[in-house]
A and B are shown apart, each in its own frame.
Chain A
Amino acid sequence: MPRLLLIEDDPAVREGLQIALRHQGHQVDTAATGRDGLDRARAGQPDAVVLDLMLPDLDGFEVCRRLRASTSLSIIMLTARGDDFDIVAGLEAGADDYVVKPVQPRVLDARIRAVLRRIGRAPAAVQSHGDIVIDRAGLIVTKSGRPVALTPTELRLLLVLAESPLQVFARDQLLRLVWEQDYLGDSRLVDACVQRLRAKIEDNPSTPVYLQTVRGFGYRFGPV
């Protein structure tokens, strides 16, 4: 059973979402504050965190950054519709996906399951591109021999792109393949994830070699 941590300050929303997620077959731990959330994440080792951005003590962005610093669990943030600044800031802080509040429980569940599925489906093979070695069986990525810590979403994106080097992937395509979202998904999810991935695997993230932008169209892996 997937273990979730729900960090949400409003008691009614927290209780409602807990009931709904439990009903969908998740094991749900809850926290009402950012600090409590961080403690519980450390102690409970959940598979994914559902994180409200508006928290009384530490805001959601800070919680996100601190979680990212120590773990690679999946993070889904709860935001208000159209608060674009929040969404961008949240993705930059390391969130994998977001849902807009009020959320239909089915939608939240689908997103959680998509995030959790990102680990663990890949053909067994070891590829090397330049300094980077991708072990698809062990799900390990190393750069110049040193392992790179990637979140499931980042790993999945890298696997998809590197599976067909030089092929250009449009953002909506990547949203489908990595986030399992319809074309309506927010393409900033892709951009933010590419940025984070570049920061981890490129020598110089501003002149990327592995993850190249094809302006106005999308991204491609290489040429290395």
Chain B
Amino acid sequence: MPGRSGLRSRLILGFISVALLASVATLVATYVGAAYLFRNDQLQSTSHLVDGVLPRDPTSNQIALIVIGSALALLALMVVLAQLATRRVLRPVRKLAAVARRLAQGDLQIRLTATGADEMTDLVHTFNEMATSLQAKVAELHRMHTMAQRFAGDVSHELRTPLAAMLAVTDVLDEQSERFDGDAAAAARLVSRETSNLNRLVADLIEISRFDAGSAALLMDGVTLADAVASCLRVRGWTQQVVVEPLPELRVRCDPRRLDVIIANLVGNALRHGAPPVTLRAWTHHAAGRDWLSLRVHDCGPGMPAEVLPHVFDRFYKADTARTRSEGSGLGLAIAWENARLHEGTIEAANAPEGGASFTLHLPLYPEPLQAG
């Protein structure tokens, strides 16, 4: 960090230049004076000026040597003094810098203590005031954020009971609607379909609110990767629509439900937003000191524009505004991402070089204990 020592060296340099100038001035004055005295042969009568220091019969060279020597000693003294002085001046500045850095890192409680009553003390007071108001603002924002989160969670939970009653009768409604005529049949089907959509949306909201509240927990278990993928596709009727490349033979320690949610989201998106063929590939590798499972879903659709890419994991983000609302809540990738994060993993969104969107899940592989107990 060049900035940290810059001020210090400039201060020292300043001191040294002053010392240097002073020494040079002393040197020139003495030398000129001495030369003048020598020339007038008055050394004898003026020798008391340097009595005990100069040799009894000094030459002009000896005098020059002594003058230069004392100038150098003065310079050395000034350097030491400069060091000490700059350290004193810089200590509070350093402290301020360190405290500001910790503040920036999120330690909002930290304050400086003021000593004395100089400009530095004013600065310390101003800094502390700034830190206090920053802390208050952040606390307020945090409180509002938590309230908004809790509100969303509460609303979702309240919606669940009436929804449970409505959802229970959708099957009956669907079957009976065949016997209704015209508008009544259409209305029954609409109510039934939208109840299912609403149910999905509320379930997603509740899922998100659990991540926000920090109450989402991992239920770890061992699953065979190939089984997990096959079941995920089979249950949703996607087996014929996805090309699964040979998977590594692997038992994965994870929360099976959450893994299923992630895979289903990525594949579902590839089928709805992308285009066939949709391929699924998985491999293991070693990075950052641990083993990883990577699972990539690639489609041959339009991919995502560059300005969309940073937002696909945002809540309610839908790039494709032309699509009808009921096609998705826009929460799918946000939930998938949170699920990956809960496993200490990540999801990467990209456009494949050969075209199409490519989403890659990276999950750390936890070793599976295998001894009898």
Contact = CB atoms under 8 A, between A and B. Distances in A.
Contact of A16 (B164, B202, B215): B164
Contacts of B372: 212-215
28 contacts: A10-B164, A13-B161, A15-B165, A19-B168, A20-B168, A20-B172, A23-B175, A82-B215, A82-B216, A101-B161, A102-B160, A102-B163, A102-B202, A103-B164, A103-B168, A105-B168, A171-B222, A183-B223, A183-B231, A184-B235, A184-B260, A187-B256, A214-B370, A215-B373, A216-B222, A216-B368, A216-B369, A217-B370
Contact of B373 (A82, A170, A187, A214): A214
A216 B222 CA distance: 7
B197 to A, nearest CB: 13
A80 interface: yes
Interface stretch (B96-104, B203-211, B275-283, B302-310): B203-211
A32 B50 CA distance: 116
Contact of A82 (B164, B175, B207): B207
Interface pairs A-B: 8 shortest CB-CB: A16-B168, A12-B165, A102-B164, A216-B369, A215-B373, A16-B165, A20-B168, A102-B167
Nearest to B203: A81
Contact of B221 (A13, A16, A171): A171
A152 to B, nearest CB: 24
A189 to B, nearest CB: 11
By size class, the interface of chain B is 35 or more
Given A10-B161, A82-B215, 9 more contacts: A19-B168, A80-B157, A81-B207, A84-B217, A102-B167, A102-B168, A102-B199, A105-B169, A105-B172
B160 A80 contact: yes
B227 interface: yes
A92 interface: no
A84 B199 contact: no
A188 interface: yes
B166 interface: yes
Interface in B167-189: 167-172, 175
B373 A13 contact: no
A13 B161 CA distance: 7
Contact of B165 (A13, A182, A212): A13
B65 interface: no
